[in-house]
Amino acid sequence: MRNVSDPTGVADHPSPRDPAGSRATTVAKGVGLVALVALAVAFPQMAADPFILSVGVVIMSYAVLATSWNFVGGFTGYISLGHAAYSGFGGYATGLLILETGMNPWVALIAGALVVAVLAVPIGIASLRVRGASFVIVSIALVLIMLLVFQSWGSVSGGSNGLRIPRPFGEDVLRPEQHERFFYLHAVLLAIALFTWWAIDRSRFGMGLKAIREDEDKAQALGVPTFSYKLVVFVISAFFTALGGGMYALWFGFLDPIFQFSILIGSYMVLMSLLGGIRSLFGPLLGAVIVGYALEFFKAQYGDTQFHLVALGILLALVVLFMPDGIIPAVGSLLARFRPQATSIREQTQAEMADERRKTSPASADDHDSHDPEEALR
Task: Give pLDDT tens digits for 107-123.
Answer: 999 999 999 999 999 99
DSSP string, 273-327: HHHH-TTSSSHHHHHHHHHHHHHHHHHHHHTTSSHHHHHHHHHHHHHHHH-TT-H
By CB atoms closer than 10 A (0-12, 13-18, 19+), residue 268 is buried
- In 3D, which of 119, 121, 68 has the Cα closest to residue 93? 119
Q: What angle do CA 118, 123, 124 make, to 5 degrees?
A: 90
Pick from 29-38, 74-83, 286-295: least confident: 29-38
Q: pLDDT band for position 339 (50/70/90)?
A: low
Residues forming beta bridges with residue 163, ordered by sequence position:
255
Average pLDDT over the chain, rounded to an integer: 83
Looking at the whole model, is its pTM more than 0.75? yes
Q: What angle do CA 272, 296, 75 make, to 5 degrees?
A: 10
- Measure the CA–CA gap between 195 and 172, rounded to whole angstroms: 34
Amino acid at 203: S
CA neighbours closer than 13 Å in the CB half-sphere of residue 343: 9
Task: Give pLDDT tens digits for 189-240.
Answer: 999 999 999 999 999 999 999 999 999 999 999 999 999 999 999 999 999 9
Most confident of 26-30, 36-40, 89-93, 337-341: 89-93
- Measure the CA–CA gap between 376 and 210, rounded to whole angstroms: 64
Identify whether the C-beta of residue 177 lies closer than 8 Å to the C-beta of residue 183.
no
Task: Give pLDDT tens digits for 61-88.
Answer: 999 999 999 999 999 999 999 999 999 9
- Residue-level pLDDT at 351: 64
Query: pLDDT: is 312 or 231 the higher one?
Result: 231
